[in-house]
Amino acid sequence: MEPATVACIKWGTAFGPEYVNRLYSGVRRNLACPVRFVCMTERAEGLHPDVEVIPLPREPFQDEMDRALARANRQGAMRKVSLFRPGAIPDLAGPVLGFDLDVVITGNLEPIRALDPAKVAMRHDWTEARKGRPTGHGSVFRFDPARHGYLYADLAANPYTEVETARGSEQRYTSHKAMERGDFLYIPGDLVVSFKYDCLGLPPVNWLRAPRLPENARVVCFHGRPKMPEAVEGYRGSLIRRSKPCPWLREHWIDRARADLGPDWA
């Protein structure tokens, strides 16, 4: 059986190696095929030996891109585009399933992996969907560099213009570029859910009960606050975002990963 290639990107110090290791464990526990798990990073310390490390490049267009991002107040927001370059992942055959580090795998990923490999796949962004606007959310993404290399090439050719057009948003850039080419599809919304929108509930529900895990959820996204360590213990960031401790999050993100990889890695 051919392995599935799964990728993430880690730069800076906001996320430690345990985020990568726990993501790797969640992926391999929830795919039926072998997994080639790739992390593009400049800090490989602490990563599990089975995680394949690819050095995070400094792109030749990075200075101009950074100037545009600074103007949009979105510093660093486009680094993920380095994954889209054909050849960035050596010896790649077929599509790549990518994840941000602030997600937790909670169920079988085969329905996402089985989506049309000719398309760039992302979940509809929650805020944009409420406003009736067609933009994907970047926490989970499926692409094939051999088919969708324009995601890298267009930015490399005109970094300032492309960043300005996307208003500094990588997910807007990626999804809208693919839509323009007829190469886009949405991941079904019940498979990829938001912790703060789909799990918490509005006041007073979030004050009275622990967060719920939707029945068909395969990936839970922790965009914004709280992040996973805060949500595990309980979070009191605001009236709306207040959260009781979350046992199912501890189970999927910490306990199962430690049982899988050992406590030294998760």
Model pLDDT for residues 191-216, shown as the tens digit of each residue:
999 999 999 988 888 888 999 999 99
Closest CA to 242 of 209, 193, 198: 209
The whole-chain average pLDDT of the chain stands at 94
Q: For strand 35-41 and strand 103-105, is the pairing parallel, antiparallel, or unpaired?
A: unpaired
The per-residue b/e assignment along 59-73, b for 16 or more CB within 10 angstroms, e otherwise, is bebeeebbebbeeee
What's the pLDDT at 76? 59
Closest CA to 98 of 162, 148, 159: 148
Model pLDDT for residues 47-102, shown as the tens digit of each residue:
999 999 999 999 998 898 888 888 777 765 788 999 999 999 999 989 999 999 99
Closest CA to 257 of 230, 234, 228, 235: 228
Counts for the chain of helices (H) and strands (E), in that order: 12, 10
217 CB-near residues (< 8 Å, 6+ apart): 106, 107, 190, 191, 192, 193, 198
What's the pLDDT at 75? 61
The rounded distance, in Å, linking the Cα atoms of 66 and 212 is 39
Task: Please give the full DSSP string across 19-69, using - where no structure is assigned.
Answer: HHHHHHHHHHHS-SS-EEEEEEES--TT--TTSEEEEPP--TTHHHHHHHH
In the structure, what pLDDT confidence band is assigned to residue 223 with cuts at 50, 70 and 90?
very high
> Three-class SS of residue 90?
coil
Q: Which helix (H) or strand (E) holds 152?
A: helix 150-157
Average pLDDT over residues 153-173: 93
Would you say residue 257 has pLDDT above 80?
A: yes
Please give the distance of CA 187 from its chain centroid, rounded to a whole number.
Answer: 13
The domains of the chain, with CATH numbers, are 4-188 (3.90.550.10), 193-247 (no CATH)
